[in-house]
Amino acid sequence: MLNRRKFTKVGIIASLGLGIVPGSSAKTFSSKKPVLDSIFKSITKKEVKEFLSGLLYTKQEVDDYFADKAFPFAKHSQEFGWLLRDARFRDGANNSISVYNYKKPDGEREMSNYADKPCRINTYGNSFTQCHQVSDHETWQEVLSAHIQEPVKNFGIGGWSVYQAYLRMLKEEKRTSAEHIIFNIYDDDHYRNLDAWRNIRKSKHAQFIEPPLPHVKVDLKNRTISEHPNPTPTKEDFYKLCDIDSSYELFKDDLVAKIRIAHNKSKDRNENLSYKDIQALTKTHGIETSLDTNATLSNIVSAYHRECALFSSEKIVGKIEQFAKEKEKKVLYVLSYPAGYLAKAHDSGSRWDQPFIDFLNKKELPFVDLGHAHFEEFKQFSIDLKTYLQRYFIGHYNPLGNMFCADQIRAKFVSTMEPKPLSYSEKVKLGSF
């Protein structure tokens, strides 16, 4: 029984990562790739090795991880990077203990409501899908299930990307197919799509090793993505992450590593970046601001990272829609956000992921925007925003937050179901029985 509260809060606060500012300009940087190429080409082999050397695991850490003696948050998965373990953590509301149980061998979260009934709703996504920081029977799936009087399966995994959730959907829909899919996307999930090794972007923690994972690579010029499996599927492969030469061969061309190093070089004002050359390129390619300051260079790199991340999610949603069409399934997307995102978006009046929201609207895809739902509800309150957010968040949603989530989904979802759930059926005989 471990205290995850600090770990969870750090993860939520760090989720935007790498100097990306919510509400910053959503300009397209794909046409400025020569600028990025110039920046990335300045990165030397020595600098890549120095960066990666600070991320390496010890052999003892690898042994302990595979023996389930360390990093109790997750367990290794060759296919997906990681799955979750049964656990108790003191991370719940009022510093309570949350209980997490996962059915074996597939690892879906334990159901209680109507678990013996046929299921026509599967849910996929991240920690807001899995429902961190509440016990098994307090999840939004269980709240929704109790209301519509039929089961809702929970295949969410904390820390997963849109791409990982998509891969799991492909697998589970073969094993336990459902007519309806609720696909949850959390704000950092866009960036997670690009992570070949999460430890490059977020340091390993005493409770989570941040392992490599299946991922996508983006080609903005040709508007395509390519899919790539977990680079270290076995324990022997994992040992490569203890050796700098092996790690270098795996990640020497990794986009996220280059972005991290570029940020670091920007902070250090390393003159090897050749600022005069980069300034000339900005004029050629229409970037109006000068690149002779640390902040501007870092922002250029961040903007490119953001565009790649959002574009990757758009392409993955396209794959989800193609799958749904072929298998005659209905998909509802749910956009989830931490309290920090909501506060910044509310104060700035803009949202850094607006291009993705615009994409969903343009494609006329059904989705629930929990950010917008919170902003609309807050208008009804006379309290300050911080107090409002504390009603629902303890890092992730508390039980009340999960009820809010379930109700927003219900309002959009029930009308798409045929036949209607028992609680909405016109054929049910009313009265005592």
Contact 179, 122 (CB under 8 A): no
**Model pLDDT, residue 33:** 60
Backbone region of residue 259 per phi and psi (left: phi > 0; alpha: psi in -120 to 50; beta: other values): alpha
Cα–Cα distances in angstroms (integers) from residue 74 to residues 138, 209, 211, 395, in the given order: 21, 8, 10, 19
Specify the higher pLDDT residue, 35 or 177.
177
Rounded to two decimals, the pTM is 0.90
Q: By C-alpha distance, which of 323, 322, 265, 328 is closest to 297?
A: 265
- Residue pLDDT, tens place only, 260-305: 998 887 665 444 444 454 455 444 434 344 444 555 667 778 888 9
CATH superfamily of 5-424: SGNH hydrolase (3.40.50.1110)
Q: 131: exposed, middle or buried (C-beta count within 10 Å: 0-12, 13-18, 19+)? A: buried
**Model pLDDT, residue 29:** 52
- Residue pLDDT, tens place only, 201-212: 988 888 888 899
Contact 432, 156 (CB under 8 A): no
- Residue pLDDT, tens place only, 142-161: 999 999 999 999 999 999 99
Strand ranges (DSSP E) for 68-169? 74-77, 81-84, 87-89, 98-100, 121-124, 153-154
**Positive or negative, the Cα torsion across 221, 222, 223, 229?**
negative
**Model pLDDT, residue 276:** 53
Backbone region of residue 77 per phi and psi (left: phi > 0; alpha: psi in -120 to 50; beta: other values): beta
74: β partners: 84
Cα–Cα dist 339/396, whole Å: 8
Q: How many residues in the chain?
A: 433
Say how many C-beta atoms besides its own lie within 10 A of residue 10's C-beta. Answer: 14
Q: By C-alpha distance, which of 188, 193, 189, 203 is closest to 341?
A: 188
Lowest mean pLDDT of 47-51, 124-128, 200-204, name the range. Answer: 200-204
